[in-house]
Structure 1
Amino acid sequence: MLVALAVLYQHFFAKSRDPQYLTATVARADLENAVLATGTLQASKQVDVGAQVSGQLKSLKVKLGDNVKKGQWLAEIDPVISQNELRQAEANVDNLSAQKRSTAAQLMQAELAFKRQQQMLSDDATARQDYEAAVATLNVQRANLAAFDAQIREARIKIETARANLGYTRIVAPIDGEVVAIVTQEGQTVIAQQQAPVILKLAELDTMTVKAQVSEADVIRIHAGQTAYFTILGEPDKRYYGKLRAIEPAPQNFLDMQGGAGGMGGGSSKPNTAVFYNALFDVPNPGHRLRISMTAQVNILLGTASNALYIPVAALGAKDKDGTYAVRVLGADNKVATRKIRAGINNNVKVEVLAGLREGERVILGDASEPAGAAAAASGAEH
């Protein structure tokens, strides 16, 4: 009887003391290691179209969403004041020209008088004082004529300025693009003093620029020329690809604090403020599906591998001096063996296996007796 009980105990209870492991199967997949960032979409070109002269906005020639060509007439500031200023400048030139002709006639008269006095002085037929008066009159008339020449040149400059200001009342498109905002409505008065008031905004939407904010911890791992892609909230399964064009040398908070002042004193960031650098890349936008200020979930690729062997990162053991990792492998007979593997791409979830494992083998992630949190962290775990 005791022998039978011992056999039953050995069969049912001794097995339960065998080690139980969480395992994952060595499998294949496309892997990528990427820097993740959040970005915003901007037009590749965006221009604030403003007024360079003051006056009432007489008419708008376009509406929101219109596509325009460079040089196309967009709006008109009431030209009456500018037209009058041009006419006044032209009249001033005419007036000065008439005065110049009068002065030229007086100069001719002064030259004749001077010649007579000069001849008479040589013949002792006039007083020295009269001769000197003739010389002075001649010099004054010459100076007057030179002064009118200068005034006419100045008046002609005013004509050019008035003509330019009249031209500014006709506002034309500086680029090809789409009207994305109308800031000033017909009938409003604009005052162009220290800066040009904005009438409307144009954007070139055939190409969009992604401005991705990359943390200071990741920015040292990226460079111009790397492949990047992003998804948008409304279309999370569609990827838009591009190549990094540039990484701005100054962080975003530095640019915000400078505020265009150009000073270097405010360049330090506040303590405990996260620092992000803008990485820029362009993507084509046929049909203008992508819009200004959309949020982009950006991946900047550091490395990729197609159909690569991989295991969960949780399976990696200690790294050896030769760069290999120790991995525990569970055999078909439930025996554990330690292997050394060479690892490739590691995205902190999956790691590429370059050598040391075969597809279908099972690697140990941990013991089944470990806390639930540790087990959950082991991606792709199997019992």
Structure 2
Amino acid sequence: MTAAARTTSASRRSPRPWRRILVAGGLILLVVAGAYVWQKRGADAGAGDYRTATAERGDVRVGISATGTLGAISTVDVGSQISGLVTEVLADFNDTVSKGQVIARIDPSTFDAQIAQGNAAVQAAQASLATARAAAANAEADFRRKTELGERQLVASSDIDLARTARDQARAQVQSAQAQITQQRASTRTSQLNLERTEIRSPVDGVVLTRTVEPGQTVAASLQAPVLFQIAEDLSKMEIVLAIDEADIGQVKTGQGVSFGVDAFPDRQFRGSVQQVRLSATNTNNVITYPVVVAVDNPDQILLPGMTANAEIEVSRRDDVLRVPNAALRYKPAEGDAAAAPTATRTSPTEELPRMAAALELDANQQAAFDEALAGMRERAAARATAAPSRPPAGGPPMMGGRRGPANAGAGNSGAMRQRMQERFTQQFAAFRETLPDEKKARWDGELASLLAARRAPLYLLVAGKPKPITVRLGVSDGSWTEVAGDIAQGDQVIIGSGRPAR
């Protein structure tokens, strides 16, 4: 065998180096892919143990539902002050009337006769007055003559006294005749007023809602004025009177928005606003309700008095906030999961103060005052935590035991603790607050009060297939969604239930 043949044979028996590298790389890729698939299967299996929902941004709207009746803001009952036979009815249902317009007439003949009688009595009284004046003038002259004769001792003093008495009586007769004239004129004026009242006039500009009188009907106004017409003053402005339960009345304030619907227009929603919260309570079968008046604009006048309105008062609204389903706040892991999961870290309201300060857009001096107050607050909290490590940190609410959920989320925050926290924060940030203008002071006070009064609850995130407990601050809730703030971001998966089969 030649040397060339031996070389060729040896090369065929031994593989080339690049082939060994290729085989080794393929084995490594297979190992890595297998590990990835194994890990993914484990993560998927762990994720499959829980039902989750996504923390998202959206609106949370809280409303109170109630039912009421639409009515005109001002409705006037038009009646009659006199009795008599109705001769004309000049207004009908739905007629538009103006103030002072005659809408009905009552037979005036009785009062015409009374006026004529009164005028005659006045004339008779005037004649009596003329007679009395003539008698008075004669008595006055007789008294003067006898007085002159008495000075010359020509008549007796008794005659002078009689003349004086006759004069005084004549003067009294004149006054009596004048009083009779006044009395008869007043009586005639009364009859004149009653004659004017035979024309029933509209007291306001409005629309006739009801008419309860017909021509030829006799009106009797002996004890009270009978209602002949009911006139709505302005149907372009209406109102709804809602009966709000005592448990909800504390949330209702003047100016809150109200949406409502009526059966006549099922596909349309109308808007109004709370105009008045009345203090007069109504007790119906031991249920206490308060009337709430809602003002409604009705420019096209399609809403009619008496319609039933199904209304909802918007007592709170938060737009574009981070929210989670309420089921996430009710979730409680099983005992085994709870033991394996770490405890949620307690959060302090102090950690949220920088966010509040940033929203106020502070200048350099105000920011420095805030930073100084915040540092002092943290130092005091650290000192208290060092002195009593077993106690919860200052400013932080205790963790709540028992069942989680919005209903008892604030159970650990007692009123006394919140009061102490309020006093502590007010004292610590008093100097910073004085640097703020009035508008920002009001905003700071409101935000601080909301922060300290807020409820806190545990929440479980699903991270790498395992539950991670956190504590969040709760905001408003509409029954389905709850506003949350804390160590949670949009898109996080929150656990709302267990997906494991029951054993």
Q: TM-score, normalised by structure 1?
A: 0.81
Instruction: Give how far 1:355 is off.
Output: 4.1
Change beyond 3 A, Cα 1:124–1:325: same
After superposition, the C-alpha distances for 1:38-93 in whole angstroms (9 at most, x for unaligned) are 22111011000000111111111111111111111111111111222222222222
Correspondent of 1:39 among 68, 89, 102: 68
Separation (CA, whole Å) in 2 of partners of 1:354 and 1:153? 85
Q: Is the 8 A contact 1:343 1:355 kept in 2?
A: no
How is 1:17-56 mapped onto 2 (pairs within 5 angstroms)? 20-56=49-85
Match of 1:278? 291
Match of 1:364? 495
Separation (CA, whole Å) in 1 of partners of 2:267 and 2:501? 36
Q: Is the 8 A contact 2:47 2:466 kept in 1?
A: no
Separation (CA, whole Å) in 2 of partners of 1:48 and 1:349? 48
Q: Is the 8 A contact 2:272 2:296 kept in 1?
A: yes
Instruction: Give how far 1:20 is off.
Output: 4.0
Q: Does 1:310 align with 2:323?
A: yes
Match of 1:111? 140
Instruction: Give how far 1:119 is off.
Output: 1.9
Q: Does 1:345 align with 2:476?
A: yes
Separation (CA, whole Å) in 2 of partners of 1:369 and 1:185? 79
Separation (CA, whole Å) in 1 of partners of 2:130 and 2:501? 108
Correspondent of 2:465 among 334, 337, 351: 334
Q: Which amino acid in the other structure matches residue 89 of structure 1?
A: G
Q: Does 1:294 align with 2:426?
A: no
Change beyond 3 A, Cα 1:205–1:252: farther
Instruction: Give how far 1:350 is off.
Output: 1.6
Change beyond 3 A, Cα 1:102–1:358: same
After superposition, the C-alpha distances for 1:297-353 in whole angstroms (9 at most, x for unaligned) are 22222211223332222221533757332112234x432222222332212222123
After superposition, the C-alpha distances for 1:279-314 in whole angstroms (9 at most, x for unaligned) are 112111122211112112222222112233322222
Q: Does 1:245 align with 2:275?
A: yes
Instruction: Give how far 1:237 is off.
Output: 4.4
State the Cα RMSD in Å: 2.5
Instruction: Tell me the matched-pair count.
Output: 339
Instruction: Give how far 1:236 is off.
Output: 4.1
Q: Which amino acid in the other structure matches residue 497 of structure 2?
A: G
Q: Is the 8 A contact 1:227 1:242 kept in 2?
A: yes
Separation (CA, whole Å) in 2 of partners of 1:249 and 1:79? 47
Separation (CA, whole Å) in 2 of partners of 1:18 and 1:33? 33
Q: Which amino acid in the other structure matches residue 273 of structure 2?
A: K
Match of 2:180? 151
- 3-state secondary structure, aligned to 1:288: coil
Separation (CA, whole Å) in 2 of partners of 1:80 and 1:104? 36
Long gaps (5+) in structure 1: 1-14, 254-269, 372-383
Instruction: Give how far 1:357 is off.
Output: 3.2
Q: Is the 8 A contact 2:257 2:272 kept in 1?
A: yes
Match of 1:376? none
Separation (CA, whole Å) in 1 of partners of 2:474 and 2:265? 34
Q: Does 1:188 align with 2:217?
A: yes
Separation (CA, whole Å) in 2 of partners of 1:138 and 1:182? 63
After superposition, the C-alpha distances for 1:206-255 in whole angstroms (9 at most, x for unaligned) are 110111111111112222222223222333443322332211111134xx
Q: Which amino acid in the other structure matches residue 328 of structure 2?
A: A
Q: Is the 8 A contact 1:206 1:286 kept in 2?
A: yes
Specify the structure having the higher radius of gyration (Cα).
Answer: 2
Match of 1:227? 257
Change beyond 3 A, Cα 1:139–1:370: farther
- 3-state secondary structure, aligned to 1:224: coil
Instruction: Give how far 1:17 is off.
Output: 10
How is 1:41-190 mapped onto 2 (pairs within 5 angstroms)? 41-190=70-219
Change beyond 3 A, Cα 1:121–1:198: same
Q: Which amino acid in the other structure matches residue 234 of structure 1?
A: A
Q: Which has the higher contact order (CA 8 A, sep 6+)?
A: 1
Separation (CA, whole Å) in 1 of partners of 2:127 and 2:501? 106
Instruction: Give how far 1:175 is off.
Output: 0.9
Structure richer in helix, relative to its length: 2
Instruction: Give how far 1:113 is off.
Output: 1.3
Match of 2:24? none
Deviates further, 353-362 or 304-313: 353-362
Long gaps (5+) in structure 2: 1-43, 331-403, 414-451
Separation (CA, whole Å) in 2 of partners of 1:83 and 1:238? 57
Q: Is the 8 A contact 2:46 2:465 kept in 1?
A: no
Change beyond 3 A, Cα 1:55–1:123: same
Q: Which amino acid in the other structure matches residue 127 of structure 2?
A: A
Q: Which amino acid in the other structure matches residue 241 of structure 1?
A: R
Change beyond 3 A, Cα 1:155–1:22: farther
Q: Which amino acid in the other structure matches residue 212 of structure 1?
A: L
Change beyond 3 A, Cα 1:118–1:18: closer
